[in-house]
Structure 1
Amino acid sequence: MTCTDSTLKPFDSPESPGSTESTDPATGEGWSLKLWGILAVLCLVLFLDGLDVSMVGVALPSIGNELGLSTTSLQWIINGYVLGFGGLLLLGGRTADLLGRRKVFLIALTVFAIASLVGGLVDNGTLLIASRFVKGLAAAFTAPTAMSILTTTFKEGPARNRALSVFSVFGASGYSSGLILGGLLTSAGWRFTFLMPVPFAVIALIGGYFLIPRDRPADAGGHDLVGAVTLVTGMLLTVYTMVSAPTRGWAHPMTLGSFAVAAVLLATFFFVEKKVAHPLVRLGLLRVGTIVRANLAIIALFGSYLSFQFMMTIFLQSALGWSPLKMAMALLPAGIIVAFGSPFVGRLVDLYGSAKLIIAALTSLSVGYLWFLFAGSDSPSYVVAILPSVILLGLGFALGYTSIMAQATSGVDDSEQGLASGLVNTSAQVGAALVLALTTALVTAGSHTASGAGTAGFEQFHPGLILVTGVALVGLAITVSPLVRGRSLRGRSVRERRAEEEKELAEVN
């Protein structure tokens, strides 16, 4: 879940790893120990960023029981991190450009470690959510800065592609491994899910201090602080309003007023992006169909997947009484598929194209959600109801993540690769937060309308399951639509179609 700013200058030091003679720029082989060390530090940080999204989710029922938090409050433990992460991702990369990658990386990683420690020690729900938000803000700077360090350390070509492949595997593995590690750690105590990243962040901090070379800040440029503030504030207010609306009432003046203020803030963001000299998002990119579809697809992927995981965590532990470890083992197949399948998706993209793989991914997710919706019950069979869904979701996430990233950055000018990457990652995080907020609202409302109100029976989750299925299906329809329209144009060669796409991108660039 990363972004980068490809306009960053190479390291000015002659000792930069990117220029070392031990690296063969043609093959990428023969990396020095220092190069491997830098890559290991960056991969560890990305692993922790992804891990934190899913690992804490397993601990939510235990946190709620000990701290007396409702389902509505629990979702903020996830959304606080996700919104802080997604809201400032684009700004994080630019900050590294202006202040220096090494400096920003080390400072943000220090804040990440401190916030992790605080989250594991507090006994107050509000402070816990606040620590998660701060941690997400720190990740918004570590993730894009790590990518920037990687792309300026490893030369473009096979060496960089090889490094990016390893980097991406750690990102996907961190997200999928969180379920397993979360189950193991929560069995010992939910606080360990917050404390576990601390020593690893310290290791990465020490390694980064000694291995990552110093670099000079950019000579020119500027921040888009107004854009960053309006985007984050608008998203936070939108999510808060969605979560509180079922209790307060959708037609309540406070609800309507909050939505209106959020709309004004987001409209201001788009207005600012048109006027400011250094925008977070150059809106011209949103005229490219493939980029728009990739961003909508990542919302469907992350939004539905994270929301389904949230519901499964509460249902299996609160309704069925499963232990965190038992739940983690039940979801293990999805993590295995993602961890071991992701490295091969790049080859499939080369063979079949990103669009077909995105279709396959969203189809797999949709079928998985539908299967559990119709096969699930208050006493579901693991083999019949849960396992097929878990396998389909793991397959869908593995296929979708890499292929969507490929489509989101394909054909974009080198100077805007960072913007395109940051845009799709921001869509993933912010989109996931919005879908999760609406899912939580539906599940909360369902607890009062289902038979046996107040219990976490399967019926309570029906509205949420219908929502995540609908989100995945809408994403699938958007991805399929250009292929359906293109059937009448089969006679045109791939080269001709590609030439038109390149012309469209050139006009926007």
Structure 2
Amino acid sequence: MANRSVETAVDRASTPRAWGLLMVVCGALFLEGIDIAMLNVAVPVIAADVGLSAGAAHWVISAYVLGYAGFMLLGGRTADLVGRRRVFLVALSVFVVFSALGGLADVDWVLVLARFATGVSAGFLTPAGFSLVATTFPEGPLRDRALVVYGSVGAAGFVLGTVAGGVLASASWRLVFFGPAVLGLLLLAAGAALIRPDEQSPTPGGFDVGGAVTATAGMVAVVYAVIAVGEGGGLGPAGLAVAAAIVLLGAFVAIESRHRSPLLRLGMLREGLLLHASIAGLLFMGAFFGFQFAVTLYLQDLRGWSPLEAGLTFAIMGLDLVAAPLLTPPLVRWFGAARVMTVGFVAAAVAFGRLVRLGDDWSYVDFLPSLLLVAAAFALAYGPLTSLAAEGVPESEQGAAGGVVYTAFQFGGALGLAGVSVALNAGHADGAVLGDYQRALIVPTLAAVAAVVVGVLAVVRRRQDGTTGG
């Protein structure tokens, strides 16, 4: 009977409809990636048009990150309980509406509110999409291949978003919002047709309200603390936010350890490699966002390149979109996901390390080796990382697992940006000079090295478990 159910799952996962579902979910992850990446190069133009001061302009991005990271755990568990298709389509609809509202905004508070709401919708959309992939494709080679494709498309969104942002912002910054809204509408129509109806019924009685409130408030407090530190405005607001986060997350742990249907079953973090994958993802994404932010500022502020020129510089990193589906699945079969992921982290560490000796006259050719190494890092690391996060997790908790790992990604991005901002702000009061950028690039280098260490620990854990997928 068990063998027959496995065969049925494999047959269902091999259908064109299943791979069509994968393309829809990949499109949604790509949409989220380009959405935040495009804003990185468009923020100066947006802030000038809607009246945001230089000190407050970061809230166009920070409001999104607050909503995204703060609601990810809640979004993942909601998908498990209420239905993954239902949560995915509703969240995508909200994403489309508030993206369009951001494009129509004429005052700063409307824009920031729209970005926060878009981030909240992404916090529900991402873990729902992750769990749709993990539950459609059975554990093994099929799921590994699906998650490698899923991860590579998502990574391409982060990379190519800077290029798209430079192109669209050159015409009108409002296209940076309307573009994702149009793409979201197309994905919504395809998703409604291709995603199978939810098999589970809504179970509001099993929802962990206390855990949801304390986790969400605690996550928002932590991200706010990171943002406050990155602003360079002193430790007062950050300290209060950290204190609030400690109290709230402590209450969350206490609630989860006693609740019969917790938002996050704490024991899940000790099973498989979810914790390793989440920590590694936090460090890797922190390194990438810090690198991208520092290099973008170097090119535009120190070298005087246009947003379009800066965006096009990163275009070559989009090679991971081609390389990952072709090369990574066989590498994972031969060497194991943990080893392939760790080699990707090594590539990232080398890429960022060589930028520490950045010169004041570097051309595109000087950046090219690091850009190619970053493409290789994403191709090798991102898909295996998400595969390891899903491995060994019951189907009923795949949404929660997605919430954990993608919360780590968002925290990593916020930490990476804050770390680079602190390093830059520690320099000259009248503007950053070359030495400040060199110092700032030490931050992503150290984060990538730390990710390598976590990757090695994951390989060792695999050997201790006696598995062959290390």
Q: Give the TM-score, by structure 2 length.
A: 0.86
Change (3 A) 1:318 1:65: farther
Quick check: 1:284 aligned with 2:267? yes
The aligned residue for residue 7 of structure 1 is none
Give per-residue Cα distances to partners, 1:102-128, cap 9 Å, x unaligned. 443332222111110111122333432
Change (3 A) 1:437 1:352: same
Quick check: 1:378 aligned with 2:360? yes
The one-letter amino acid paired with 2:390 is: T
The aligned residue for residue 213 of structure 2 is 229
How far apart are the structure 2 equivalents of 1:287 and 1:150? Answer: 23
The aligned residue for residue 239 of structure 1 is 223
SS at match of 2:206: coil
The one-letter amino acid paired with 2:305 is: W
How far apart are the structure 2 equivalents of 1:134 and 1:244? Answer: 20
Contact 2:80 2:397 in 1 (8 A): no
The aligned residue for residue 470 of structure 1 is 446
Identical residues among aligned pairs (%)? 37
Tell me how far 1:358 sits from its aligned partner.
Answer: 2.7
Change (3 A) 1:315 1:223: farther
The aligned residue for residue 458 of structure 1 is 434
The aligned residue for residue 426 of structure 1 is 407
Tell me how far 1:481 sits from its aligned partner.
Answer: 4.7
How far apart are the structure 2 equivalents of 1:217 and 1:26? Answer: 18
Contact 1:25 1:157 in 2 (8 A): no
SS at match of 1:378: coil
Matches within 5 A, 1:144-155: 144-150=127-133
Larger Rg: 1
The aligned residue for residue 306 of structure 1 is 289
Tell me how far 1:348 sits from its aligned partner.
Answer: 1.1
Matches within 5 A, 1:287-366: 287-288=270-271, 290-336=273-319, 338-343=320-325, 344-366=327-349
SS at match of 2:305: coil
Quick check: 1:128 aligned with 2:114? no
Matches within 5 A, 1:42-61: 42-61=25-44
Change (3 A) 1:325 1:212: same
Change (3 A) 1:242 1:211: closer
Contact 2:338 2:458 in 1 (8 A): no
SS at match of 2:56: helix
Matches within 5 A, 1:25-174: 25=11, 28=14, 31=16, 38-67=21-50, 69=52, 73-150=56-133, 164=147, 166-174=149-157
The one-letter amino acid paired with 1:263 is: I
The one-letter amino acid paired with 2:37 is: S
Select which of 223, 234, 237 maps to 1:249. Answer: 234
Unmatched 5+ stretches in structure 2: none
Contact 2:420 2:443 in 1 (8 A): yes
Tell me how far 1:25 sits from its aligned partner.
Answer: 1.2
Contact 1:235 1:430 in 2 (8 A): no
Q: Give the TM-score, by structure 1 length.
A: 0.80
Select which of 351, 359, 369 maps to 2:352. Answer: 369
Contact 1:83 1:133 in 2 (8 A): yes
Tell me how far 1:298 sits from its aligned partner.
Answer: 0.5
The one-letter amino acid paired with 2:364 is: Y
RMSD: 3.3
Tell me how far 1:165 sits from its aligned partner.
Answer: 5.3
> How many residues of Structure 1 are paired with residues of Structure 2 in the alignment?
461
How far apart are the structure 1 equivalents of 2:18 and 2:169? Answer: 35
The aligned residue for residue 395 of structure 1 is 376
How far apart are the structure 2 equivalents of 1:156 and 1:470? Answer: 33
